Structure 1
Amino acid sequence: MGPIVVIAASAGGLTPIKQIVAALPASCSASVFIAWHTGSHPSIVPEILSMTSRLPVGHGEDGQHIEAGRVYVAPPDKHMYLDHGVIRLDHGAKVHFTRPAADPLFVSAAKAYRERVIGIDLSGYGGDGADGLATVKARGGLALVQDPEEAEQPSMPWAALMADHPDASLPVAEIASRVAALCCKGEADPPPRSDHGVAGASSILPANRS
């Protein structure tokens, strides 16, 4: 199976998400998961992404089996987790004052898929995604951050940069081309790293998914 791509975004993040998803080829071997801060408001993010995506896009569903070459968006007011081939949703406590949040998605992906994960932190307010991206890197995955100088709202990228040392901080166009190339290869090929823990990150997972 191909890479597991997890993307975090909030304010100012929709255009970068569209750019990354639109760059993915129809033959993409990755499974892509997006946590965008919609809160409890109705979300048409899948419909928006479908306009330019070569891959099927939809909201993730609880118990849904993960398939390669698909894009899954966290539905409104639900955290989305990855659990060894299956999507899990819940209405747990807000993380960084939001639900859905990126950290639950990122941490669960890192625990389940380790070096196969590509984590991407994009424009947004606050620090959601920072601990999760550090966990992705600690588990051997690839950690990418949008260049804060380019981001419409640089708080999330800066928080990710401060939480750890991501593999790269890049303009979205470069992130998109890099992810597309990795999808074509069918593997993320991250450099080997030691599996060290990230303080506080695992606490956002439900007890029965640790």
Structure 2
Amino acid sequence: MKTRSNTRDIVVVAASLGGLQALRTILSSLPTDLPASIFVVVHIGAWPSLLPEIFQTDCLLPVMHAQDGQPIALATVYVAPSDRHMLMRNGVIVLSTGPKEKFARPAADPLFGCAAVEYGSRAIGVILTGKLDDGAAGLKAVDACGGFTIVQDPSSCLAPDMPKAALQAVSPDRVVPLEGIAAAIVSALTDDSRKRLSMDEREQIALETKIVLTGR
């Protein structure tokens, strides 16, 4: 995957209850020449998933289920398949049957943590509507490793638990209603602000990510 080292170009997005419509709204508003890769986790468990087909009806970018070993391409939306954690390493996607996180597989925390360790300040983490608190620890990891953080305004969520938990875990760069998420993502791609890295947290995140990867 070719990219400038200082460019934010990895976007990880998590949603649960209410996420289907939220994601359709966001993905339909992204430009066709988006200079980033989008990774989406929805809590679907082991149920068969038609999410790529559903999202593709509104989205101008290609949308697909992620495949193990698939090279990461720009201007593409990758959706975590049923019963697999979606991760990335060395420019390719890694699917894992590692332990469930927050009672979910696929889950947000493994994806966000892996993006934080692999891509640091290049990562953008987005938490959307959903129950419970999956994604809060992952968004904290993105922030600790220098990435950009976006949280959907809980008042615009069908289920505000996930955004509220994220807001308790980190002070995000942006808190915006659903209609502003796509614009916030596009704006974050060229945001050149940099954060102080937490190396202790990064090492802990890297260890946790390694455990998930060994569960393949």
TM over 0.5: yes
Q: CA deviation at 1:201?
A: 4.7
* CA displacement, residues 24-66 of structure 1 (integer Å, 9 cap, x when unaligned): 1111111000010000001111001100111110000010000
TM-score, with length taken from structure 1:
0.92
Q: Distance in 1 between matches of 2:70 and 2:136?
A: 27
SS at match of 2:111: helix
| 2:96–2:213 CA contact under 8 A, matched in 1 | no
Q: CA deviation at 1:82?
A: 1.2
Runs of 4+ aligned structure 1 residues displaced above 2 Å come to 187-190, 197-204, 206-210
1:114 aligned residue: 120
Q: Distance in 2 between matches of 1:198 and 1:160?
A: 17
Residue type of the alignment partner of 1:40: A
Unmatched tracts of structure 2, length 5 or more? none
1:24 aligned residue: 30
2:50 aligned residue: 44
* CA displacement, residues 172-209 of structure 1 (integer Å, 9 cap, x when unaligned): 11111122345xxxx44242111114496555413485
Structure 2 counterpart of 1:13, from 10, 16, 19: 19
1:160 and 2:160 matched: no
2:74 aligned residue: 68
Question: Quick one: percent identity of the two aligned structures?
Answer: 42
Q: Distance in 2 between matches of 1:50 and 1:208?
A: 29
2:87 aligned residue: 81
Structure 1 counterpart of 2:191, from 176, 182, 189: 189
How many equivalent residue pairs?
206
Root-mean-square deviation (CA), in Å? 1.8
Q: Distance in 1 between matches of 2:159 and 2:211?
A: 33
Unmatched tracts of structure 1, length 5 or more? none
